[in-house]
Amino acid sequence: MGVDISVLIADWSWLGEVSPEARLTRLRNAWYADETGLCNHDAPVIEGGWCRPRGPRSASFAVYEFRGTLGSFKAHFWAGERWESVRDHADPLLRGELDALLLGLIWAGPDGGAEHVDPGFFCDDPALTCGVLLARSPDRVRDLAGAWERVRPWLGGLRAAYGEHAAVPQGWVGDFDTFAGLLDDWGRVLSEAVRRGWGVVGLSE
């Protein structure tokens, strides 16, 4: 599970100008459009904020810097695992909404079979979609953002159960505050994508 993840929002109309087979190439080519790479490296990376891309398509996407993850997918993976440990002890209404949110983003689900790429976003050829961990269209993003807005006011009620059933000292997402902070970061990503009418993509390096 030593995978990194870069989470970005992307202009759906710009990606939609090309076929699903060409969209990942278009996105990656824009990402590395010049020799300086993605971001303005003269400026400090601000966790919990957006990285400003360079290149001619810099207005077509933005990358979010998650707090406390060092760019690793491990934090997201373990958030799903911690949720699996505590979900049976959550209020049923919260459990349903948080299931929907995490299944849509990072959690493989109880049977391990959840898909995190919307059909038709990219092509179905694994050789052409290597490194895609998440791909959600604007419509799906709106659904997920709605789930987050319903979860957010009630999330604090999970603290005691998390401490009892999911906390792992020194482990990834080992306490409730880290879990809640990661979800809040996802909420920021979803909210900004909804505001712009964009999709959300997660890519491994």
Does residue 38 lie in a domain region? yes
Q: What is the pLDDT of residue 86?
A: 98
Does residue 12 lie in a domain region? yes
> Which segments in the chain show pLDDT lower than 50?
35-44
Q: What is the pLDDT of residue 34?
A: 52
Q: By C-alpha distance, which of 93, 103, 196 is closest to 142?
A: 196
Q: Where would I find the beta strands (DSSP E) of the chain? A: 6-10, 49-51, 61-65, 132-136, 199-203
Does residue 181 lie in a domain region? yes
Q: pTM of the full predicted structure?
A: 0.92
Question: Structural domain of residue 81, as residue ranges?
Answer: 6-203
Give the integer Cα–Cα distance in Å for 145 and 189. Answer: 9
Total domains, the chain: 1
CA angle centred on 126, ends 124 and 127, rounded to 5°: 120
Does residue 32 lie in a domain region? yes
Does residue 1 lie in a domain region? no
DSSP state of 112: S
Q: By C-alpha distance, which of 198, 76, 75, 96 is closest to 147?
A: 96
Q: What is the pLDDT of residue 59?
A: 85
Q: By C-alpha distance, which of 122, 9, 17 is closest to 60?
A: 9
Does residue 106 lie in a domain region? yes
